[in-house]
Amino acid sequence: AAGVIQSPRHLIKEKRETATLKCYPIPRHDTVYWYQQGPGQDPQFLISFYEKMQSDKGSIPDRFSAQQFSDYHSELNMSSLELGDSALYFCASSPGGSTEAFFGQGTRLTVV
C-alpha cells in the first residue's frame, strides 16, 4: 500500500541557509501534519493543513513556513537555519474526518 513519501531523506545545510522539505500524503488523504523530532525527544507538532488550508499551528518558528498544494502535497520551507534546527522532520497524513495519522519516513536535517 502507498505510504507517506518525504523527500529528501537526508539534508545537510549550513547556518543561515534555507531548506525545503516535501511531503506527499497517502492518496485520498487531505490532511497533512508536520512534526519536528529532536534526538531523544518526542515529535513536536509544527503545523497542519486540511484541504489546502492551514488548519492548526503548533510550535513552528516564524522562520518556517509551509503550504499544501492543489495535489495535497505539502512543503515546509525553513529559512535562516540555525544549529538547533537539526532534527528529524516527519510528515503525517490522514483522511479528512479521521483521527488516524500515518507517518512518513522523515527527513533528517543537519545544520552545520
Partner 1 sequence: GENVEQHPSTLSVQEGDSAVIKCTYSDSASNYFPWYKQELGKRPQLIIDIRSNVGEKKDQRIAVTLNKTAKHFSLHITETQPEDSAVYFCAATSDASGGSYIPTFGRGTSLIVHP
CB of 16 to partner 1, least distance (A): 27
Q: Is residue 45 close enough to count as binding partner 1 by CB under 8 A?
A: yes
Q: Which of 16, 58, 63, 110 binds partner 1 (CB under 8 A)?
A: 58
Q: Which of residues 6-35 bind partner 1 (CB under 8 A)?
A: 31, 33
**Largest separation between any pair of C-alpha atoms in the chain:** 40
Instruction: Look up residue 68 and give its three cell numbers.
Output: 499544501
Separation of first and last alpha carbons in the chain: 36
Q: Is residue 104 close enough to count as binding partner 1 by CB under 8 A?
A: yes
DSSP string, 72-90: S-EEEEE-S--GGG-EEEE
Instruction: Look up residue 88 and give its three cell numbers.
Output: 528529524
Which of the ranges 16-24, 61-69, 71-79, 91-99 carries the binding residues for partner 1, by CB under 8 A? 91-99
